[in-house]
Every structure is written in C-alpha cells, then in structure tokens.
Amino acid sequence: MKISFSQLRLIIAGFSVASMVCPASRAAQTSRDPQTSGPSTTVVIDAGHGGFDRGGIPGQRIPEKEMTLDVAQRLKGVLTAAGYRVVMTRDSDVFVPLATRVAIANSYRNAIFVCIHFNSAKRMGAGGIETYFYSRDSLPLASAVHYFVAGGAPSANRGVRRRGFYVLRKTGIPAVLVECGFLTNPTEGAYAESTSYRQKLATEIAAGIRGRSSVTSTSSRTGVATDDSIPLQSYIDQTKVSSSKRSHKRSSRTKSSKKKKSSKTLDSEASATARKQEAE
C-alpha cells in the first residue's frame, strides 16, 4: 500500500505527540508515588504561650514564649528540609487560644501535633526533661520524642507522663507536649539561652518524629537507638490522681492562698486563662 506524503506527515506528527504525552504521564505517576515524593505526614507545631502570655511563673527571668517559638521555628526548618509538610499554630509573638490551636491540629488528616514548652518551678533546683501524651495512639510518638530529647540533653530524665492537658485530650490526632527543661533552673536556663542548644533540641525532636513508627516494646532502654529499634517508654499516669475535697468552712483568705499556691505548682502549660480552659 502506498502512503502519500501528506499521510506520512500525519503519522510522524502522531508519534511526536505520543512521545510527549507518555513521559508526562510517567512523571505525574512518579509524583504521586509516596516512596519518591517524601514523607506525606503533616506536622503541626505548637509553640507554647505567646503575646501577653509570657509563660512560666511570676518573676521568671527568661520568657518561655520566646524560647518555645525559637525551638518551634528551628524544628520547622529541620522537618521541612526532610520533606515534611509543616503547619505552625503561631509563627510570631502572638497569643493563640488553646481551642484555636486544637482546631488547627484537627483540620489536617494524617497529621501529628507537637507542642513545645519549657518548665518552671519556685524551687531553682528542679530540672529535667519530660514528655506528655493523653491518647493511647500518642504513646509511640511520645516515646520516640522523649527518647531522643532526653537522651540528647544533659539534664535529668523526668520520664513520659499521661496527663489531660487541653491541647492533648482535645486533639483527634497523635499529640505530645514536650517540656524541654526548667528555665528557672540556672543551668538549664543557660542551656536554653544557647542558640546551639535550641538547635539541638529541634534536631532531637525531629529525630523522634521520624522514628515514631519504629518504637517497639521489647528493646532495652539502655540500648542505642537505631532506625528499626526505639524502646517504648514506661509512663506515669497522672490522669488518675484525685485531690481530696477541701472543707467549705475555711475562710476566704485561706481559700485564696491555697488557690494561688496550687496554681503556681501546676506544670506550665499556659497562663491562668489557659489553665481555666483546660479545666473545662
């Protein structure tokens, strides 16, 4: 069969179009492949306090809100470089209500929530790293983050604790709150004021996020962490601690002093406004 010159031109043009379409389809398929496009998990980073909420206790020299924001921003940089999608509940010195922080976290599917805090206490000798969680689904994340942060910090290991902080019990995704040391402790406060130390905290938290799926319950806590073996941490369940009822016959002055003392000894999650929201 003879092919005219015009037909030959049409055939060649058809092959040209096909060669352009096929690579494009393969590229589109590759971009959807989770193994080649990097981590698909969204990490919502919550820098504690902000704005009028300075954090910590009255008279505290180092403002917690500044330390938490700096570590959160550094963590964002580490995770973004590793291919994670990162969402910040605050990226500047502003106050964000706890309910808004939770709403942001719950608006993302396939996400995890990491809340950054520093501790404080009236006793200057109080120190150490501790990590909080609430839901059982959050324990592997808490274990991994605490394993790396506590293991990489020159501070005491105060362990993993289960507690019903507002931002933990109201989130529908795996959520943890890490206390990166006591700013009221002279030694740990000096650590926190070091740029290199805040960068190290961010790096260790990121390592915990990456290793959360590798947590096992059979490894020894004294072993060296590897990509396929991170020990499940034991934890203290502080949700079952109940306080005894006070007598209604005490004077208003006594009640006021007790209330102030109790509020000062609470672990620092937020300001007085945040504590009220937590109790609701």
Q: Is residue 20 part of a domain?
A: no
Instruction: Please tell me the predicted confidence (pLDDT) of residue 240.
Output: 82
Q: Is residue 50 part of a domain?
A: yes
Q: Is residue 7 part of a domain?
A: no
d(C-alpha 99, C-alpha 219), whole Å: 37
Q: How many domains does the chain have?
A: 1
The predicted model scores a pTM of 0.73
Q: Is residue 125 part of a domain?
A: yes
Q: Is residue 194 part of a domain?
A: yes
Q: Is residue 147 part of a domain?
A: yes
Q: Which domain holds residue 123?
A: 42-256+268-279
Instruction: Please tell me the predicted confidence (pLDDT) of residue 46.
Output: 98
How would you write the pLDDT of the chain (280 residues) with one tens digit per residue?
A: 444 544 444 444 444 433 333 333 333 332 233 333 345 689 999 999 999 999 999 999 999 999 999 999 999 999 999 999 999 999 999 999 999 999 999 999 899 999 999 999 999 999 999 999 999 999 999 999 999 999 999 999 999 999 999 999 999 999 999 999 999 999 999 999 999 999 999 999 999 999 999 999 754 444 454 556 899 999 999 998 654 444 444 444 544 454 444 444 334 444 444 443 443 3
Phi, psi of 15 (to 5 degrees): -65, -35
Specify the CATH number for the domain of residue 58.
3.40.630.40
DSSP, residue by residue, the chain = ----HHHHHHHHHHHHHHHHHHHHHHHHHHHH-TTTS----EEEEEE--BTTB--SSTT-SS-HHHHHHHHHHHHHHHHHHTT-EEEES-SSS----HHHHHHHHHTSSSEEEEEEEEE--SSTT---EEEEE-SGGGHHHHHHHHHHHHHHSSS-EEEEEE---HHHHS-SS-EEEEEEEETTSHHHHHHHT-HHHHHHHHHHHHHHHHTGGGEESSS-TTSPPBTTBEEPPPEEEGGG--PPPPPTTS-HHHHHHHHHHHHHHS--SS-HHHHHHHH-
Q: Is residue 11 part of a domain?
A: no
Q: Is residue 26 part of a domain?
A: no
